[in-house]
Amino acid sequence: MPPRDPAVWQRIRDAEARLQALQAELQQLYREAGEERPPLAGVTIVDLSWAVFGPLATQILSDMGAEVIKVERLAGDIARESQSFYATNRNKQSLAVDLQTPEGREIVLQLAERAHLFVQNFRPGVIERLGLDYDTVRQRNPRIVYCSLSGFGEDGPYRHRGGQDHIIQGMSGLMSIIGWPDGPPTSAGFYVCDVVGAHYAAIAMLLGLYVQQQRGIGQKIELSLLECAIAAQAFPVTWALNHPESPPQKAGSGHWTRRPLYGVYPTKDLPMTLVAVGNERWPRLTAVPGLEALAADPRFATPEGRQQHAAELDAALTALLKQRPRDEWMRLLHEARLLCGPVYTYAELFADPHVQHRGLVQELPDAEGKPMKLIASPIRLKQTPGRLRSAPPALGQHTDALLTRLGYTPAQIAQLRQQRVVL
C-alpha cells in the first residue's frame, strides 16, 4: 500500500468540509421555503421486486421520503390480491409495463438513468434474459446502486431454486427451535424471514446510497433470504456452532437457556408472560404477595436447585398464579420491578391505551378513496420525520405521469397502451 500523502488527505478533508457546507446551505434553503424534507427526499428507487422481501425493503425507504417507482407486470404484483400487498407498498407509484418487449425494457432503462437505486428479486438468470441485469443498467447509469435479492444467492448449487419465507424458515434452522419439545416442526406464524431480509436489504441499500453520495460511485448489492435468516439467528446459531454437544432446543413458550421462570403462565383468567430469571430477581419474585411459598421450598433455594427442579418450580408457580386474575398479578409484579405482560390478540393490542397513544395506526384513502388503516414506520426522527403519504397504488396508477416525465407524448403513451406495452 502506498504511503499516505498528507497533501492529498488535506484536499480530501477540504472537499468534505465544502460538501458539508453545501448540504447545510441546502437544508437551510428548504427551511426558508417552509419545507422540512424527510431524510430520503430526492432519492429515486426503481423497484422491480414483488411479493414481500423486496417490496417491504423499499417501503422502509419510501416511508422516509424516497420516491419508489414500483414496476409491475401488466397482470400486477403476484401479491396484489392479498393483504401482504397493502402492508408493503404504501408511498409508492405504480407503473405497469411488459418487460419482455423492447419498448417496455427501454422505459425501465430510462427510469434507471434518473434513479439512485434499482431493486429486483427475480431468480438468478431471469433478469439477464430480460436485459435489465446490473451490467446493462450501469451502462446507462454508472452511479446506480443495484440491489439483487433472491432466495439462495446468485451462485451455489441452489441458485436457481425459488426461495419463499416458509421454505427458508424450515431450511434456516428456525423451525428447529420453535414449538414444544415433542411437537412437530412449527413456523413463526408470519413471514418472519421476509421481514428480516427486508430490513437487511434496506440497510444494504442505505449503505450503497451513502457510498454513492460520498464517493460518487455505484455498485451491485446482493442478498439472499437464506443468509439473512441465518444471520438474524445470531445467538442460537453461534451457540450451535460452538456447542455442538448441546444445540438449541424447542422450549414451548419459553427459551431453552432460560427455563424456569421465563415463559407464558396461566392465571385465574388470562395468560401472561413473565421473565424472572437471575439471582437478583428471585428475592423480589418470592416477596410478591401470594408467591411467598416459593421461598419456603428448599429445592428452589439456590440457582442450581431451581435449574435442577425447573419443571417442579414452574408447576408450583403456575398453581399460585392461578389463584388471582392476570391484571392483579401484573400490578403486583410491576410493583416488584419484575418483567411481565399480557398475551394479546390483535384486537386487544390495538385497544391498548399505550398503543393508541403512540399513534402507530394511521388511516389513508386508497386509490378508490376508501379508508385504509396502515401501520406507520416505528422509526421516529424528530428533525426530519418520515410519514405516510399515500396508500398502496392501483395497478398502473402512475403510468401516464411517469412516462410524461420521461418525455413521452400523450399520443406515444396511447400507442404503447394500445400495443399492451403499458397498462
Summarised one tens digit per residue, pLDDT across range 120-176 is 999 889 999 999 999 999 999 999 999 999 999 999 999 999 899 999 999 999 999
DSSP per-residue letters across 130-195:
HT-SHHHHHHH-TT-EEEEEESS-SSSTTTTS---HHHHHHHTTGGGGSB-TTSPP---SS-HHHH
Beta-bridged to residue 166, according to DSSP, are none
| Mean pLDDT, rounded, for 390-411 | 96
Assign 48 to helix, strand or coil: coil
Predicted confidence (pLDDT) at residue 334 exceeds the cutoff of 60: yes
Region 307-331 average pLDDT? 96
Bridge partners of 371, per DSSP, are 365
Q: Are residues 175 and 298 in the same domain?
A: no
Domain presence at residue 361: no
**Does a structural domain hold residue 84?**
yes
Q: How confident is the model at residue 2 (pLDDT cuts 50, 70, 90)?
A: low
| Residues 68 and 198 both lie in one domain | yes
Which is more confident, 205 or 256?
205
Which residues are 374's β-sheet partners? 362
For residue 188, what pLDDT is reported?
Answer: 94
Residues 213 and 290 in one domain: no
Residue 221 lies in a domain: yes
- Domain-embedded: residue 177: yes
pTM: 0.89
Same domain, 190 and 321: no
Mean pLDDT of the 184-198 span? 95
Highest mean pLDDT: which of 9-18, 271-280, 324-333?
324-333
- Please tell me the least confidently modeled range out of 33-42, 187-196, 242-251, 286-295: 33-42
The pLDDT score that the predictor gives to residue 262 is 92
The b-or-e profile of 153-180 (16+ CB within 10 A means b, else e) is beeeeeeebebbbebbbebbbbbbbbbe
- SS3 call for 30: helix
Distance of CA 149 to the CA centre of its chain: 14
Please tell me the predicted confidence (pLDDT) of residue 117. Answer: 98
Hey, is 364 helix, strand or coil?
strand
Residue 331 CA to residue 340 CA, distance in Å, equals 9
- The arithmetic mean of pLDDT across residues 45-60, rounded, is 97
72 assigned to some structural domain:
yes
Residue 35: its pLDDT value, please?
Answer: 67
> What confidence score (pLDDT) does residue 8 get?
86
- Report phi then psi at 46, rounded to 5: -95, 115
Please give the helix or strand (H or E) that residue 362 lies within, else none: strand 361-365
Q: Which of 371, 390, 376 is nearest to 91 (CA)?
A: 390
For the question of residue 400 being annotated catalytic, the response is no
141 lies in some domain = yes
In a domain, 248, yes or no: no
| Nearest in space to 377 (alpha carbons), one of 57, 45, 30, 120 | 57
Report the pLDDT value the prediction gives residue 237, as an integer from 0 to 100. 94
Amino acid at 88: T
Q: How much is the pLDDT for 28?
A: 79
Which residues form the domain of 297? 262-343
Percent of the chain with pLDDT strictly greater than 70: 99
Residue 120: which CATH number?
3.40.50.10540
The answer to whether residues 298 and 382 belong to one domain is: no
Q: Are residues 272 and 198 in the same domain?
A: no
140: which residues sit within 8 A by CB, 6+ positions away? 109, 110, 112, 113
Regarding whether 289 and 227 lie in a shared domain, the answer is no
Angle at 92 between CA 87 and CA 97, to 5 degrees: 110
**Tell me, what's the pLDDT at 31?**
74
Q: What H or E segment, with its residue span, contains residue 21? A: helix 6-32
* pLDDT class of 383 with cuts at 50, 70, 90: confident
- What's CA 39's distance to the chain center, in Å? 18
| Angstrom distance (rounded) from CA 17 to CA 398 | 40
Mean pLDDT across the chain: 93
Last residue of one domain, picked from the residues 322, 343, 364: 343
138 and 279 share one domain: no
Q: What is the average per-residue pLDDT within 6-12?
A: 84
Q: Which of 63, 165, 194, 314 is catalytic?
A: 194
Same domain, 148 and 59: yes
Largest CA distance in the chain: 87
Q: How many domains does the chain have?
A: 2
Average pLDDT over residues 398-407: 96
pLDDT the model gives residue 3: 60
Domain boundary among 327, 343, 359: 343
In terms of domains, do 57 and 154 share one? yes
Strand locations in 230-310 (E): 262-265, 272-275
In a domain, 384, yes or no: yes
Confidence of residue 25 (pLDDT cuts 50, 70, 90): confident
Q: What is the pLDDT of residue 184?
A: 94
Residue 73 and residue 180 in one domain: yes
CA distance 333 to 53: 40
**Which pLDDT score, from 0 to 100, does residue 15 have?**
86
Do 215 and 95 share a structural domain? yes
Which residue did the predictor score with more confidence, 20 or 248?
A: 248
* CATH code for position 335: 3.30.1540.10
